[in-house]
């Protein structure tokens, strides 16, 4: 009986043959692109650095990446192929006829199973099913049934000479299945042979050399290719970053223009403006050093006729405006006011990505601020259970 599962070597062999075949085709593509490169740039010396870099990139894209991928997937792919074939063998081994088959020629029982095949039912694209080949001891002919008891549909063969129905007889050996067709009317006959032996493939004189080369059997070659892959991926990453910087140039320019304030520079920046507006004794808490740096601030309102809401709002807007060109911002907790004591928190933005976001956010809200309109929509007043007024 024909088994699907083969030795490990034969899977390695067939996997490598596919690798070699596809690599040869890819190499042909690369060779064409190589020639095209020098057609477009006829004055470029063949070994110039520019040509080398370009051609290396083209080589990696057309050949190199696939070679690494096929090398890396080899063990898994072979394991999958073996599992698949093992499952086929199990399906055949476990298949049982569900009912007693009758001879398709003389309708007698007691047929002997001569073979089980895994094959697709005609007209069905479903998975393969087991077909039982049976021999009748009474009339010495073959019958075939599917596992579920359905008889195998046989095509009626007509005699090419007199158009009568042909009888057929099948003889199976290890090497071949031979079917003899015989005309019941005029006696014309012919044979059809299905070869079961594996065809000797035409010897490929370059296969072993190409196998070493394209299946990356040499560790040095393999490592060099991997390093090339890393280099090009790095180049692609830098290229992308560069494109991003070009696309967002105004944003990056603004990021560069942001004043990166040290903690010690905050009070000197804010104090004069706040004092002018009637806020005294600006002080900072100890900074909280987490993923971001947060720092609490507090001051006293010296204007007796200013109410809680106005005081907190004025302070918020002053700080916001003063910090606009820096990498510091008021946090979302807002500014709190109670009995003329005001406090809140500031956050420092340090990472380039965060600074980029900061700039994009303030660019979006810029036109509104430039128009000099008070951004009322962004101000919410809350009074908490401690009686503090909070401007968010
Ligand atoms: Zn029979
Ligand atoms: Zn005939």
Q: How close is the Cα of 265 to the center of ligand 1, in Å? A: 105
- The CA 156 to ligand 2 mean position distance, Å, reads 14
Among all bound ligands, the one having the nearest atom to the CA of 141 is 1
Centre of ligand 1 from the C-alpha of residue 105, in Å: 5
Q: How far is the centre of ligand 1, averaged over its atoms, from the C-alpha of 189 (Å)?
A: 21
CATH code assigned to 257-391:
3.30.980
Three-class HEC string of 208-256: HHHHHHHCCCCHHHHHHHHHHHHHHHHHHHHHHHHHHHHHCHHHHHHHH
Q: Where are the domains of the chain?
A: 8-94, 112-195, 257-391
**Ligand nearest, relative to CA of residue 136:** 1
Tell me, in angstroms, the distance from the centre of ligand 1 to residue 138's CA. Answer: 5
Contact 331, 277 (CB under 8 A): no
163 CA to centre of ligand 2 in angstroms: 6
Please write the tens of the pLDDT for every residue from 142-156.
Answer: 899 988 888 887 667
Per-residue pLDDT 10s for the chain (392 aa) are 668 899 999 999 999 999 999 999 999 999 999 999 999 888 888 888 888 888 988 999 999 999 999 999 999 999 999 999 999 999 999 999 888 899 988 999 999 999 898 887 765 556 788 999 999 999 988 899 988 888 887 667 888 899 888 888 878 888 888 888 999 899 899 988 888 777 666 788 999 999 999 999 999 999 999 999 998 888 888 888 888 777 778 778 888 888 888 888 989 999 999 999 999 999 999 988 888 899 999 999 998 888 888 899 999 999 999 998 898 998 888 889 988 899 999 999 988 888 888 888 776 655 434 444 444 445 677 777 777 777 77
Cα 120 to averaged position of ligand 1 atoms, centre (Å) = 26
Query: In 10 A of CB 259, how many CB atoms?
Result: 12
CA of 180 from ligand 2 middle (Å) equals: 14
| Residues whose CB is less than 8 angstroms from the CB of residue 7 and which lie 6 or more positions away in sequence, other chains included | none
Query: Tokens 């709190």 belong to which residue?
Result: 336
CA distance linking residue 205 with residue 77, whole number of Å: 26
Give residue 100 CA to ligand 1 midpoint distance, Å.
14
Dist. CA 182 → ligand 2 center (Å): 8
Sign of the alpha-carbon dihedral angle for 338, 342, 348, 349:
positive
What pTM was estimated for this model as a whole?
A: 0.54
Reported as a single tens digit per residue, the pLDDT across 16-56 is 999 999 999 999 999 999 999 999 888 888 888 888 888 98
Distant-in-sequence, close-in-space partners of 350: CB < 8 Å, separation ≥ 6: 260, 292, 293, 327
Q: What is the whole-number distance in angstroms between the Cα of residue 165 and the centre of ligand 2?
A: 8
Ligand at shortest distance from the CA of 186 = 2
Ligand nearest to the CA of 110: 1
Chain Cα centroid distance, residue 125: 29
Q: Estimate to the nearest angstrom the gap between the alpha carbon of 187 and the chain centroid.
A: 64
């Amino acid at each position: 009986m024909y088994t699907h599962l083969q030795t490990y070597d034969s899977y390695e062999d067939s996997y490598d043959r596919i690798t070699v075949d596809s690599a040869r085709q890819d190499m042909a593509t690369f060779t064409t692109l190589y020639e095209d490169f020098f057609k477009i740039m006829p004055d470029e010396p063949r070994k110039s650095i520019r040509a080398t870099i370009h051609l290396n990139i083209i080589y990696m894209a057309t050949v190199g990446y696939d070679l690494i991928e096929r090398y890396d997937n080899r063990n898994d792919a072979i394991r999958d192929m073996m599992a698949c074939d093992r499952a086929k063998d199990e399906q055949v081994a476990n298949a049982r006829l569900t009912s007693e088959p009758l001879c398709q020629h003389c309708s007698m029982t007691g047929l002997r199973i001569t073979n089980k095949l895994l094959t697709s039912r005609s007209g069905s694209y479903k998975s393969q099913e087991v077909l039982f080949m049976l021999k009748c001891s009474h009339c010495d002919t073959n019958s075939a049934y599917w596992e579920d008891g359905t008889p195998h549909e046989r095509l009626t063969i007509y005699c090419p000479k007199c158009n009568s129905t042909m009888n057929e007889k099948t003889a199976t050996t290890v090497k071949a299945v031979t079917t003899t067709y015989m005309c019941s009317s005029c006696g014309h006959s012919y044979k059809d042979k299905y070869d079961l032996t594996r065809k000797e493939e035409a010897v490929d004189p370059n296969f072993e050399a190409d196998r070493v080369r394209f299946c990356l059997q040499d560790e040095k070659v393999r490592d060099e290719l991997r390093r090339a892959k890393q280099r090009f991926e790095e180049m692609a990453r830098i290229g992308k970053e560069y494109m991003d910087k070009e696309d967002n140039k105004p944003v990056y320019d603004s990021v560069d223009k942001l004043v990166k304030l040290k903690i010690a520079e905050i009070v000197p920046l804010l104090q004069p403006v706040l004092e002018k507006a009637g806020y005294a004794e600006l002080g900072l808490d100890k900074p909280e050093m987490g993923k971001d740096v947060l720092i609490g601030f507090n001051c006293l309102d010296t204007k007796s006729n200013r109410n809680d809401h106005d005081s907190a709002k004025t302070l918020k807007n002053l700080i916001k405006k003063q910090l606009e060109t820096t990498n510091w911002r008021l946090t979302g907790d807002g500014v709190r006011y109670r009995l003329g004591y005001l406090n809140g928190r500031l956050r420092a933005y340090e990472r380039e990505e965060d600074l980029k976001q900061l700039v994009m956010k303030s660019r979006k809200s810029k036109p509104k601020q430039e128009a000099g309109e008070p951004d009322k929509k962004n101000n919410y007043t809350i009074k908490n259970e401690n009686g503090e007024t909070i401007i968010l």
